[in-house]
């Protein structure tokens, strides 16, 4: 069992804010993989489904960002989920827009959502850092993260969310390298590979996973077997 947590603020007022990119990532996974309906539970919105053979809970805390740990803590204690099975998707000022990094453990770097989760659970959980860029001055950060994504952001944002959804099964299986590579195929696709332009959505079997991740050289060698 895995727990994917998306960080953001509840309500339509904040739905398209940069701070809510974690919510957006979970919404995309839920939609693409036909998860069950969202339900109000554990001071948040919860739904569940399967990625490959792995049962996955998706959680969007409804406590507002700086109290996210209350919702996550309740969910973890009820389902007895080990910290190493928790993945938290959140906005990252220190990454360029559209970039993504996966990090296990560490500090909260001033992110109030992570600060709250770490206060309730400790720091030994994984973070999926989703780059939104930086406004250039620390005094402008609050206004920047609480504003909607600009029209100019929509292209890279769509590619990033597509990549996260495409690679979600790998993340659930614990294959972080393939997850990162799948996201990269969307955000920085190879120029010469026409075969990688189509999204490998809703990967559900090991056979499909192996097919998607074969590189062009492997495909060429297979022709001569």
Is the CB of residue 144 less than 8 Å from the CB of residue 18? yes
**117 vs 53, 75, 146, 194, CA distance in Å?**
27, 12, 20, 42
- The DSSP result for 84-115, as a single string, is GGEEEEEEETTS-TT-EEEEES---TT-HHHH
Per DSSP, the chain holds a count of helices (H) and strands (E) of 9, 7
Q: From CA 16, how far away is CA 216, in angstroms rounded?
A: 38
Active site residue 19: yes
Q: From CA 14, how far away is CA 8, in angstroms rounded?
A: 8
SS3 205: coil
- Which residue among 19, 90, 120, 134 is the active-site one? 19
Enzyme catalytic residues: 19
């Amino acid at each position: 069992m895995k727990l994917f947590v998306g960080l953001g603020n509840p309500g339509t007022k904040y739905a398209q804010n940069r701070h809510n990119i974690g919510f957006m990532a979970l919404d995309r996974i839920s939609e693409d993989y036909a998860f069950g309906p969202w339900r109000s539970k554990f001071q948040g919105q919860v739904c569940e489904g399967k990625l490959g053979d792995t049962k996955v809970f998706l959680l969007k805390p409804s406590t507002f960002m700086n109290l996210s740990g209350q919702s996550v803590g309740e969910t973890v204690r009820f389902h007895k989920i080990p910290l190493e099975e928790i993945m938290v998707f959140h906005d990252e000022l220190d990454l360029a827009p559209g970039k993504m990094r996966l990090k296990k453990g560490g500090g909260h770097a001033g992110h109030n959502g992570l600060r709250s989760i770490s206060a309730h659970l400790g720091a030994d959980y994984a973070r999926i850092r989703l780059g939104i860029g930086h406004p250039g001055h620390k005094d402008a950060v609050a206004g920047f993260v609480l504003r909607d994504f600009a029209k100019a952001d929509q292209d890279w944002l769509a590619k990033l969310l597509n990549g996260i959804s495409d690679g979600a099964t790998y993340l659930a299986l614990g294959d972080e390298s393939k997850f990162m590579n799948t996201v990269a195929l969307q955000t920085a696709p190879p120029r010469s590979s026409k075969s990688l332009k189509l999204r490998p959505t809703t990967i559900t079997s090991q056979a499909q996973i192996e097919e998607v991740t074969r590189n062009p050289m492997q495909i060429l060698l297979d022709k001569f077997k």
